[in-house]
Structure 1
Amino acid sequence: MSQPLRLAVFDVDGTLVDSQHHIAAAMAQTYAAEGLDSPPLEQVRGIIGLSLPHAMRQLSPDLTDAQYDALVEGYKATFRNKREAGQSAPLYAGIRDLLNGLAQDDHLLLGVATGKSRRGLDAMLRVHGLEKMFVTAQVADDHPSKPHPSMLHATLSDTGVKALHGVMIGDTTFDMEMGCAAGMVSIGVSWGYHDVDRLRAAGAAHIVDDTVALAALLTELWG
């Protein structure tokens, strides 16, 4: 019997790239431009992974709709300027080797589900030479914010993989909840932005501390 196709879907910010300081700097600049106090780094870390409109409302729940719109558009412009200036977040240690190793498995497809925009994701993939690594890439432009499972439903539809043969790998509770809602195994990584107790409470079936452990877990799960 041939092996079924399997699918590993990765979050981006906090899972593949360490972008917290880039995001916090863009937030600070955006809030300052609107005459508002910027949220502290810990609060910013807590919303990484959400789509921008949801993130802004969670960070600042008492603003007007016009202020939220201004923050979202201001953040997009600020981050776009940083990208055009050559500022990019680094890959976490071991990520490139992990992805290259997984890509050698003919029965495993790789995907991305991120709160980034399409433009932002494309820029990140281009900077790190990962444009051809993922067969499906879902972004905030096209879906409800995490933890809604729409992104993962799209990855399964794109690849033809059944949910029971897929895993969602991420660093936030939003990723874990999204994976569970889509019927996929949720795997939390400890090197990102939400602590492991929160990941477990949100439905993480497994927690890994480095990319070597993640590769070993996937081998264990799928033989």
Structure 2
Amino acid sequence: MKNPIKLAVFDMAGTTIKDQSNVAEAFVKAFSRHGYPEVSVQEANEKMGYPKPLAIREMLKTHTPEGELVAEELVEAIHDSFVDEMIWFYRESPDIAPMEDALEVFEALQQMGIKVGLDTGFSRPIADVILDRIGWKNHPLIDITVCSDEVSKGRPHPDMILKMMAALGIGSPREVIKIGDTEVDINEGLNSGCLMSIAVTTGAYTEAELAPHKPSHIVHRLLDILPLVAQEIGEPVRE
């Protein structure tokens, strides 16, 4: 007998929240403010999905002379600037919006008896600004949110998913599916042992770029996960 799916865990920026390289551009501005104007949007995009302090540390390593250590004070300073940039953007920009089909998918999953969680490489202060701005804070269609600064290790480690499972009383990762738009989202799902680790091409990466990381499925919009879930649990997609 198949385990029922009890929880669907979605990434935020690029998956359920539109992102037109806004996060990468905030990285570039933060690095430039601290003397690294050569950091590119492409470099930043390659670190999408990681906990942001880890992403900053790894990017600094590529711009630090061999043999020199990356100072934690510099990592913290760049991260503080990044947080400031992101909070300004998510509070003020007219461009912030959820993916058009996100709430429709959340509602359909809840009708199937599946809880909805959001996890993110952002810290809680940024995530809360996003959720407030788009009206998703304490939304009835979102059961739980977890941020990378609320666990010991962020993605691609399983800590955020395990925290959700513990909070919701879910015993097996085979009762969980993960949906995200980056390599680290895929690996978070795989490392957690999730029933599915679904990649979506709505964010920073194409199908060709996501496929080598071996997601269980690749979809091009959130609505496309509903038939996969319905097939797994043996019930039709509800219109």
Common topology (TM > 0.5): yes
1:171 aligned partner? 181
1:219 aligned partner? 230
- State whether structure 2 residue 219 is matched by structure 1 residue 182: no
CA distance in 1, matches of 2:119, 2:135: 18
- Equivalent positions of 1:3-152 (< 5 A) are 4=4, 6-61=6-61, 62-63=63-64, 64-65=70-71, 66-85=73-92, 89-105=96-112, 107-131=113-137, 132=139, 133-143=141-151, 144-152=153-161
Q: Is the 8 A contact 1:56 1:72 kept in 2?
A: yes
CA distance in 2, matches of 1:120, 1:141: 11
C-alpha displacement of 1:8: 0.4
C-alpha displacement of 1:29: 2.2
- Partner-residue secondary structure (3-state), 1:103: helix
CA distance in 1, matches of 2:38, 2:154: 22
CA distance in 1, matches of 2:146, 2:79: 20
Q: Is the 8 A contact 1:46 1:194 kept in 2?
A: no
Q: RMSD in angstroms over aligned alpha carbons? A: 2.2
Q: Is the 8 A contact 2:183 2:213 kept in 1?
A: yes
CA distance in 2, matches of 1:15, 1:127: 17
User: In 2 relative to 1, CA 29–198 (structure 1 residues): closer, same or farther, beyond 3 Å?
Assistant: closer
> Aligned letter for 2:191?
A
> Aligned letter for 2:102?
I
**Unpaired segments of 5 or more residues in structure 1?**
none
Cα offsets for 1:22-75 (capped at 9, x unmatched): 213322321222122152222222211111111112223144313222211111
Q: Which 10-residue stretch deviates more, 164-173 or 39-48? A: 39-48
C-alpha displacement of 1:168: 0.6
- Tell me the TM-score normalized by structure 2: 0.83
Q: Is the 8 A contact 1:9 1:169 kept in 2?
A: yes
C-alpha displacement of 1:4: 4.3
- Partner-residue secondary structure (3-state), 2:111: coil
Q: Is the 8 A contact 2:26 2:82 kept in 1?
A: yes
User: In 2 relative to 1, CA 29–9 (structure 1 residues): closer, same or farther, beyond 3 Å?
Assistant: same
CA distance in 1, matches of 2:109, 2:178: 15
CA distance in 1, matches of 2:94, 2:30: 17
Q: Is the 8 A contact 1:189 1:207 kept in 2?
A: yes
CA distance in 2, matches of 1:52, 1:211: 25
Q: What percent of counterpart residues are identical?
A: 23
Q: Is the 8 A contact 1:88 1:127 kept in 2?
A: no
**Unpaired segments of 5 or more residues in structure 2?**
65-69, 235-239
Cα offsets for 1:135-162 (capped at 9, x unmatched): 2211011121210111111111111222
Cα offsets for 1:162-200 (capped at 9, x unmatched): 211110111111111111111102011122223334433
Cα offsets for 1:83-119 (capped at 9, x unmatched): 34355622223223222322333x2111112111112
C-alpha displacement of 1:5: 5.7
